[in-house]
Structure 1
Amino acid sequence: MRVTDDPLIPVMQGDEGKVIPKSNAQYGEVDYKMLEKNAKAKCILVCALGPNEYSHISGCTTTKQIWGILVNAQEGTPQLRKFGIARLCTKYEAFKMESGESLQDIITRFIIIVNGVVSLGKIC
């Protein structure tokens, strides 16, 4: 199971071959293990978040919903990504030492710009 997949819901064959969800009383060991995996994945995602991120996902019921919100919050919409790439590429191309800046500050600032561009999937 991946967090990008829909949650696995225990199902069974119903009348006329239709697939219907099982009731809790019909769950078996395999069903409980499947549900446990989803709960663990959700717990890992929720526990890794700070209070600001948690407020965005507190209403989510599945790991897929949580993951979608987190990806959108980090990467943004395609338009925001393009804007972010353009902004960072401009900073990269215009990069120069500022007055009174130490070598360590220059390197740190440069690494932040490069990492930002790479995280958005672009190389200037």
Structure 2
Amino acid sequence: MHNLFCAFGANEYNRVSLYNNAKEIWDKLEVTHEGTSRAEESKISLLTLDYEFFKAKLEEGIKEMSDHFNHTINGLKALGKIYPNKEMVKKMLNSLPMFWEAKVTIIEE
């Protein structure tokens, strides 16, 4: 670098040095963003699968089931994937165990 300083002078050396630092920073930001995008896509995929295959567990009460469902929905919303309310209600009702069938029928009617 000392040879560059002597050949170009202080102003040119600083400009080249600044360019190299900015390029390094840009390259690191670009790699970080790409990694973040891939991680985000993975999160969306996992939460979408969780939503698609959501079923209430027999040992879960309504509150726990609702919390689990809302956690999934809120995670998807935060990542930009939003389902219509009507679809989410239907998904939740269809995920209830069979002993809720009479109540689900009444709600649907």
Compare the two structures and name the one with the higher strand fraction: 1
Could you say which TM-score interval applies, normalised by the shorter chain?
0.3 to 0.5
Higher Rg of the two aligned structures: 2
TM-score (norm 1): 0.38
